[in-house]
Amino acid sequence: MNHLSKFILLLVMLVSMQVQAESVDINTASAGVLASAIDGVGENKAASIVAYRDANGPFGSVDDLAKVRGIGAATIDKNRDNLTVAVPVKK
User: Are the C-beta atoms of 50 and 34 separated by less than 8 Å?
Assistant: yes
The pLDDT of 26-42, averaged and rounded, is: 96
pTM of the model: 0.73
The residue that leads in pLDDT, 89 or 71, is 71
Per-chain mean pLDDT for the chain: 86
pLDDT at 55: 97
At residue 18 the predicted structure's pLDDT band, cuts being 50, 70 and 90, is very low
Residues 83, 85, 86, CA angle at the centre, nearest 5°? 130
DSSP letters for 21-82: HS-EETTT--HHHHHHHSTT--HHHHHHHHHHHHHH---SSGGGGGGSTT--HHHHHHHGGG
